[in-house]
Every structure is written in C-alpha cells, then in structure tokens.
Amino acid sequence: MTATGSQRPQETDELAVPDFADALNAFMSRSEGPGMLQLLTPEGTLVLPPDRTPGYDPELLRSFYRDMVVSRGFDAEATALQRQGELGLWPPLAGQEAAQVGSAHALRRDDYVFPSYREHAVAWCRGVDPVDIVKLYRGVTNGGWDPKETNFHLYTLVVGSHALHATGYAMGLAKKGSDAAAIAYFGDGATSEGDVAEAFTFAAVHDASVVFFCQNNQWAISEPVQRQLRGPLYRRADGFGFPGVQVDGNDVLAVHAVTRAALEHVRAGNGPFFIEAFTYRMGAHTTSDDPTRYRRPADVEHWRARDPIARLRTHLTDAGLAGPEFFDEVEEQARELAYRVRREARNMPNPHRLAVFDHVYAEGHAQVEEEREQFEEYHRSFADGETE
C-alpha cells in the first residue's frame, strides 16, 4: 500500500459498482471484496445517485464539514503551541479528519470509544473540550477529562493496548444485556502488536460487540505498511474469523456508512468487525518526528489532492448545499476555538509537585506516603523551601 524511494503509495482499486450495499455485504460475509469502498471521489463527485447513497443528507453533510474544519483548526493551533514551547508533544491529525468524523457520527451516545492518542476529531464529536486534550500534552494532568461524561476513554499512549480494553468492555456489555457497542481506534502499526492480536482472539471467541477501527495512514512512525505485512491490511481479520472491510478513509460519506453497518453487525450479536480506513498522515507522526527523512514530497502532494475536507467542500458547493456564508461561518468557529485553546493553554496553572502521588491507589498506601514525605523533604532542602 505504501512504498519508499521513488514509488508512490499504491492504493487498492476504488469501488465503483451499482450497489454499495451488495459490495459491503460481500465484505461482511468474508467473500472476496470488490475493492476499496468509496462513495465520494477525490474530485467531490458521488459514485451513486444521492437517493442511493447511504446516509446522504444535506444537514448531515454540513455537520461533517463543520466538524472536520474545526478539528483541523484545533489541530493546527495545538501544533503551533508545541512549536512555541507551550506543549511538550503533539500528534498531528491533519489528513485523517474524514476517518474520524465519519465514524464518530455513526456512534450512539451509549457506545464507548477507546482512542489511541490522535483521535482529536473523535473527541470533538463526542463532546470532549479540546482544552482538556491540551492539558494532557502540556503535562498539567494525567488525563484531562471524565470518560463517563462522554463515553470517550482517556488517550492511550501505549500502542495497541487499548484494543484489549475495548474487547473487555464489550464483553461486559453482553453480560449486562446491553446492545451498546465499543469501538477501538488505532493505526496500522498497532496491528503488528501482540495486544491487538490477543484482542482479536478474545473478541472473536466471545462474539464481543466491538468494532476495531484502523486508520491506515501508511506509516508506523517511519515504517511503511509494506514492511509490516503482505497483502491488504483488512484481510488480517480473516485469520481470526470475523469480517473486515477496506474503505476510503478520506471519504467521510463512505466511512460513515461502513461504520454504521459495522455497528449494526456487532449489535446484532454477530461478533466483532474490523474497518481499515485507508488514509494518510499529512504531517509528522508527532512533533518530535521529521517525516522529510523518510517520505518524498511527491507522495505528500499525491495525497494532498485527496484531502478529505476539500473534496467535501467541492461537493457541497457543486450540489448547491452550501455557499460562502456557510463556509465563512465554519472558518470563524474554527478560529474562535483555536483562540480559546491558545488563551487557556497559556494560562493553565502548573500542578502542585506533590500531586503526582495522588490517586496512585484508590485508598491510602504506606509506601506512597513515605515517598511523598521524602519528596517533600527534598524540596524543602532548597533555599526557598518551595514545594509548589
């Protein structure tokens, strides 16, 4: 799917068949898939007529666009804050907005999301305040938000481990008789981790109502997909006995339709489902990475022409579903959010030094208290006696 040197990432054939539902059913029945599912081409043209395009609704399309633009604006501001020394680290989102917004809009409020560390657009769609995300990367909190309020778990920096958490949660839902689902987001590199393989096994054996959502952005930091596996990534699900599908991850319409179908599949007690959203990370893996050392500018430009926001804007404009006033309003909302994030990030108070010992255990622990006292004594040994 990706290549180094003089080659460009190779995309699988995009699907242009009369019946999207039949093609999706082929994937779900684990028969040979017809190619990568797509509803909106990079040029902003519908593959099928509007009345045969799943989820085609003008208001919903405008919501998709708004959330993608606002999320990208937040991401750009957070990247700038890190470059200016206000954040310790930042994993950029740019290029993956359609994969995240399309899937997030398919979820119910009682579904539970297990993100990795780049799901800023999913967090936005679930109602997490972006300022709370910035708190984590500024180092003033170990989490930043209450997962119970939005059913959006805390970020997971350990690659792939949360796939097991999602599976366990889904198994718990079944024991409670709930038809809610869990969804775990991760990248292509995580599929090479043992934790993900274990999650696939447990989910399949127990028919867990979990959707594994892989954003294949072509790079596990600097490692291309072609060095991680042979053949299409979505076919990994076959070996564990459940269906998988490959969808154009820059097509928000197709991602939304596929995720809705996958959620219906798992809610019906059919076991897990795997989605490979074929997309591209336009920026660095994190702000500590230099992608120019392993990617060609021509490849980035190739994918820039497939920008998820640009293609939806083109369609909205050409179809007469949105005009300059709408686009200006969305841009203003993105600017206002970026300004608020910058203002609040720079005014965040530093946490108390001793707060690191809080909440280590649910109840008091003698050894932790001893270490707290030693740490406090160490800071009192300085001339100013500061412990803040």
Token pair belonging to 186? 């991760």
Query: CA–CA separation, 308 vs 42, rounded Å?
Result: 8
- In terms of phi and psi (left: phi > 0; alpha: psi -120 to 50; beta: otherwise), the region of 80 is alpha
Q: Which of 30, 235, 294, 302 is catalytic?
A: 294
Q: Which of 281, 295, 311, 315 is catalytic?
A: 281
- Strands of 244-248's sheet, edge to edge? 112-114, 182-187, 210-216, 273-278, 244-248
Cβ contact 53:316 at 8 Å: no
Query: CA–CA separation, 354 vs 372, rounded Å?
Result: 7
Does residue 285 have an active-site annotation? yes
Does residue 335 have an active-site annotation? no
Residue 68 phi/psi, 5° resolution? Answer: -70, -45
Query: CA–CA separation, 189 vs 200, rounded Å?
Result: 15
Q: Which of 72, 236, 285, 315 is catalytic?
A: 285
Residue 72 contacts by C-beta under 8 Å, 6 or more apart in sequence?
93, 94, 97, 309, 334
Amino acid at 318: D
Residue 149 contacts by C-beta under 8 Å, 6 or more apart in sequence?
127
Burial class (CB in 10 A: 0-12, 13-18, 19+), 162: buried
Does residue 120 have an active-site annotation? no
Whole-angstrom distance between the N-terminal and C-terminal Cα of the chain? 51
Query: CA–CA separation, 13 vs 27, rounded Å?
Result: 15
User: What residues act catalytically?
Assistant: 281, 285, 294
